[in-house]
Each structure stands twice: as structure tokens, then as C-alpha cells.
Amino acid sequence: MGMFKKKPVIIEAKQYTRNALEAKQVAEWCNGKQTDNGVVIHTLEGDHLGKYGDWIIKGINGEFYPCKNDIFWKTYVKM
């Protein structure tokens, strides 16, 4: 076993909020489906629910996935 460091990668992300217009735009951006509980996103691992306050991340291969707000800010910094 060895020690490894994550490569620096620039990602695109949008926060899924309760603002109706912004929520609709984020859902359209990630090809997700809005529900009463959030946005359903088709990820490489299957469907995941992005809840209000989560960040929706576009990965390096164009895939989308949700990330909790606290984890997002522990992992990423704004440019």
C-alpha cells in the first residue's frame, strides 16, 4: 500500500436550492428530474437524489452526481 494524493481537477458545480427558477435550471443542466424531495440524477452508479442545499457536480467525464454541502466545502474551493 502507498499514500496517494488526489490530482487537482477543476469541476463545474451548481447548488440545488429551493428557488424554483434556479432549481429548474440545475435540473435541466444535469438532465435530472425534479420531485417533491429534490432532483433525481442519473449517475454512473444509478439514480441518486440531490436534495435542497446539495451541490450537483459535473465530473471530468461529463457525468453528474450530488454532493452534500459540508462535504463539498471540505473538498473544493471557489476559484
pLDDT digits (tens, 9 = 90+) for 10-67: 999 999 999 999 999 999 999 999 999 999 999 989 999 999 999 999 999 999 999 9
User: Which pLDDT score, from 0 to 100, does residue 45 have?
Assistant: 92
In this structure, is residue 61 part of a structural domain? yes
Q: pLDDT tier at 72 (50, 70, 90 boundaries)?
A: very high
Q: Is the residue at 3 inside a domain?
A: no
Confidence at residue 5, expressed as pLDDT on a 0 to 100 scale: 87
Residue 6 located in a structural domain: no
How many domains in the chain? 1
Pairing type for strands 33-34 and 39-43 reads antiparallel
Domain that holds residue 38: 12-75
Query: Is position 17 within any domain?
Result: yes
- Position 24: which residue type? K
pLDDT interval class at 1 (50, 70, 90) = confident
